[in-house]
Amino acid sequence: MSGGVALFDYDNDGLMDIYFVDSLTVETAKDPTAARSALYHNLGGGRFEDVTDKAGVGHPGWGMGVCTADVDGDGWEDLYVTAIGGNHLYHNNHDGTFSDITARAGLAGGGWSAGCGFADYDRDGRLDLFVSRYVKVDLEHLPEFGKGKTCEFKGIPVQCGPRGLPGTSDLLFHNDGDGHFTEVSEKAGVSDPKGYFGLGVAWFDYNQDGWPDLYVANDSTPSFLYLNQKDGTFKEVAFPMGVAVSEDGGEQGGMGVAVGDYDQSGRLSIFKTNFAEEYNSLYHNDGDHFTDVSFRSKTAASSIPFVGWGTSFFDYDNDGRLDIIAVNGHVYPQMDQASRGASAGYRQRKLLYHNRGDGTFDEVAGQFGAALVAPRVSRGLAVGDLDNDGKLDLVINDLDGGPQVLHNEIADAGNWLLVKLKGKGKNTDAIGAVVRVKAGKLDQMRIVQSGTSYLSQEDMRRHFGLGQEKQADQVEVQWPDGATTRMENVKANRIVEIAQPR
C-alpha cells in the first residue's frame, strides 16, 4: 500500500526537492529501522543529493503517505508523513534540518493513516489538516500469510482485506493558531462512522462557492464527497452528486484521486484510480452534479486490467490541454502464477492519456518506450518541473525496486508558464487559490493543493501549457480570501511569481 512521494522546495532555492516515503512489512514490523524514508536535495543539472540524515526526516517506521505546507506561515515548507502507528509533523528549521513537533502540535493521529492534505476549510486564514485512514490494525498481532484465515483471488490464496476487516474513522485537525491542532472530525461531519477504507484525498471547491470541499477515494466501499457548509461542518453528498460508485452502481477499490478542468469548462472534474477489473473513473463536473464519462472519454477500457494508484491531470506536451497519467501495480505478488483472466500481472505498465480536445483521450504510453511501459509495482506519483524548463516531469515511488525519476524530453512541446504564488498571513502557499490563464483560444484554470494523487504531494507551482501562443493575454489569481489579482500580456516560457496584496 505504501508509499507516497513529495515534490517541494524545502530550502527555498527555487528547485523542487524529492521526499520518498518508505515502509515496513509484516516480517520487519518489529524493527522500525528496517525502513528509511529519504529526502533528496535538488542540486540542479539533473543531480540530487541524499540529505536525509542531516535533515532528520528518515522517519523510521511504517510510512504511508506525505503532504506538505507552510504550516506556521514562516515562509518555509513543512513536512507531514502518515504512517501505521503514528504520523509525524516535521517543522522546517530554515537551515536544512527539520524538527519533529508532532506531539506539541497534536497531530500523531495513530492507527493506519493513509492520505493527507492541508486546507483552510473554515477560511480563518490558518491551514487545517485532513487524514484518511484505512483499517483497524493491531501492530502487536499482525496477520502472517499462511497462518490463520486466507482468502482466494483468481484461484490463489492471498491475504484478506480490506473487505471483511474492521474499518476506522478519518481525522480532521483544526488549526488553533497557537501551534496546536484539535481533532474535530466528528463535530465537522467527516469522521466516517461507517468505517470505510480511506486512501486518496483531494481538497477542492467543486461548486465554486469559495469554500474548500473534500473528496476521499475509498477502497472497496463508496467514496466520499464532503460539501462545505460554511459553518465548520460538511455534508456528505457523493451519491446525489454522482461520484460515490461506478456508472452501474458498483463499489470500487478507490486508490488515487486527481482533480482538473480537462475540457476548459471552468469546472473541476475528478479522476479516480481503482482496482483491477473495475475501471478508472472520470467524473465530469456538470455544475449541479457529476457524470461518469469514463467510457465515453475512452479512458476506461484500457484501465480495466490494472490496479491504479498515483494519478494526475497534467499537460505533458504543453498544448494547453490537461492530459492524465496513472501508475499501476498489483497488490498480490502471486498474480504472476495465477489464472489472471482480465487482470495484468504483479508488475504493470503505466497509462498516459493524451487529451484530444473533444472530451476524449488516446492512451499513448507506448509512444514513449520503456520509461512508461516497462512493468513496475508503482504506488505514489508526484508531477512537477524538476529543472524549471517548463516541461513537467514524473517522480514515482515503487515497491520491489528503486524509485523512478522520469525527465520530460519532448522536443516539440509548446510554450508555457509556471505560476508561483505567495499568499499572505499564515497561508503563504496560497493553498486553495485558483489560477486562470487566457491565451488566444485557450482558457485554463488550476488550483493550489496540498496532498493529492495517491498519498503524495505535487509541485504547488501551477503549470500552464500555451501551445503556440507567445504570451498569456491574462493571468488571474483568485486568492483564498476571495480577492483577485490580474496581470495582462504576460510573456511565455518563464516562471511568474505573484504575491497576494496585503
Residue 107 lies in a domain: yes
How far apart CA 76 and CA 97 sit, in angstroms, is 11
How far apart CA 152 and CA 449 sit, in angstroms, is 39
Residue 142 lies in a domain: no
Amino acid letter, residue 325: I
How far apart CA 395 and CA 38 sit, in angstroms, is 13
Residue 32 lies in a domain: yes
Count CA atoms closer than 13 A to 479's CA, side-chain side: 20
- CB distance 454 to 272 below 8 Å: no
How far apart CA 446 and CA 268 sit, in angstroms, is 9
Residue 140 lies in a domain: no
pLDDT category of residue 283 using cuts at 50, 70 and 90 = very high
* Residue at grid coordinates 516560457: 493
- All residues at 6 or more sequence positions from 250 whose CB lies less than 8 Å from its CB, including other chains: 278
Count CA atoms closer than 13 A to 434's CA, side-chain side: 23
| Cell numbers for 262 | 480537462
Largest distance between two CA atoms of the chain = 67
Residue 335 has a pLDDT of 87
Q: Phi, psi (5° rounding) for residue 185? A: -60, -40
Amino acid letter, residue 148: G
Residue 334 has a pLDDT of 86
How far apart CA 20 and CA 3 sit, in angstroms, is 7
Please write the tens of the pLDDT for every residue from 359-417: 999 999 999 999 999 999 999 999 999 999 999 999 999 999 899 999 999 999 999 99
Q: Give the chain's mean pLDDT.
A: 96
Please write the tens of the pLDDT for every residue from 64-83: 999 999 999 999 999 999 99
**Burial bucket for residue 441 (CB in 10 Å: 0-12, 13-18, 19+):** exposed
Query: From the centroid of its chain, how far is CA 18?
Result: 14
- CB distance 384 to 325 below 8 Å: no
CB count in 10 Å sphere of residue 489: 9
- CB distance 117 to 450 below 8 Å: yes
Please write the tens of the pLDDT for every residue from 284-331: 999 999 999 999 999 999 999 999 999 999 999 999 999 999 999 999
Please write the tens of the pLDDT for every residue from 37-69: 999 999 999 999 999 999 999 987 899 999 999
Q: For the domain that residue 199 is a member of, what is the CATH number?
A: 2.130.10.10
List the one residue out of 73, 51, 186 whose CA is nearest residue 120.
73
Query: From the centroid of its chain, how far is CA 331?
Result: 19
How far apart CA 193 and CA 183 sit, in angstroms, is 15
Residue 316 lies in a domain: yes
Say which DSSP state 396 is in. Answer: E
- CB distance 126 to 461 below 8 Å: no
CB count in 10 Å sphere of residue 304: 15
Q: Work out whether the CA dihedral 50, 51, 57, 60 comes out positive or negative.
A: positive
- CB distance 397 to 473 below 8 Å: no
DSSP track, 311-374: EEEE-TT-SSS-EEEEEE--S-GGGGGS--TT---SSB--EEEEE-SSS-EEE-GGGGTHHHHS
Please write the tens of the pLDDT for every residue from 431-455: 999 999 999 999 999 999 999 999 9
Residue 104 has a pLDDT of 98
- CB distance 263 to 285 below 8 Å: no
Q: In this structure, are strands 434-439 and 471-478 parallel, antiparallel, or unpaired?
A: antiparallel
- CB distance 419 to 498 below 8 Å: yes
Residue 11 has a pLDDT of 99
Please write the tens of the pLDDT for every residue from 112-126: 999 999 999 999 999
List the one residue out of 330, 368, 332 whose CA is nearest residue 351.
368
- CB distance 437 to 444 below 8 Å: yes
How far lies 124's CA from each of 83, 128, 176, 184, 479, in Å?
Answer: 28, 10, 10, 15, 13
How far apart CA 370 and CA 408 sit, in angstroms, is 14
Residue 141 lies in a domain: no
Q: Which domain holds residue 243?
A: 5-135+147-499
Judged by DSSP in three states, 303 sits in helix
Residue 256 bridge partners (DSSP): none
Whether 342 has a pLDDT exceeding 80, the answer reads: no
Cα angle, residue 105 at apex, residues 99 and 109 outer, rounded to 5°: 105
Q: How many separate domains does the chain show?
A: 1
- Omega of the bond leading into 3 within 30 degrees of 0 (cis): yes
Of 362 and 30, the structure prediction assigns the larger pLDDT to: 362
